[in-house]
Amino acid sequence: MGDRRECGCIYRGLRTGACGSYNKRGDYLIMENYAVIGHPISHSKSPLIHNRHFETVGRKAIYTSYDVPSRQLGAAVEAFRTLDVKGFNVTVPHKVDIIPFLDVVDEEALKIGRSTR
């Protein structure tokens, strides 16, 4: 893997990497990564809500959104595993299509035919 300092993502003044960020002094901060996936996803308020919560409680975490077409669900889940994403939410239209890609599916989710991880 390359040097994480080359990541160009910015969140609230922090340059973010796959599993952490650098503050303005260049100190590396370990961050937990969380996400929401859907298609489309631009309407989602989840990143705003969760990032505000993380900031309020002083948790070193970031919550991002990803626009993932159905045909790329498997690749997205595998990428989240590789990047050690701690958890992700699933929104429309993937609540049914995501089930085959999950490690564990709650019995209730199987009964109703949809899931959120």
- State pLDDT tens for residues 24-65: 666 666 789 999 999 999 999 999 999 999 989 988 899 999
* Topology at the third CATH level for domain 33-112: Rossmann fold (3.40.50)
86 part of the active site: no
The per-residue pLDDT for 109 is 76
Catalytic residue among 60, 86, 95, 111: 95
What residues does each domain of the chain span?
1-30, 33-112
Rg of the chain over Cα atoms, rounded to whole angstroms, equals 15
What is the reported pTM? 0.69
- Contacts of residue 24, Cβ cutoff 8 Å, sequence gap at least 6: 13
Q: Which amino acid is at 15?
A: R
Counting every residue, how long is the chain? 117
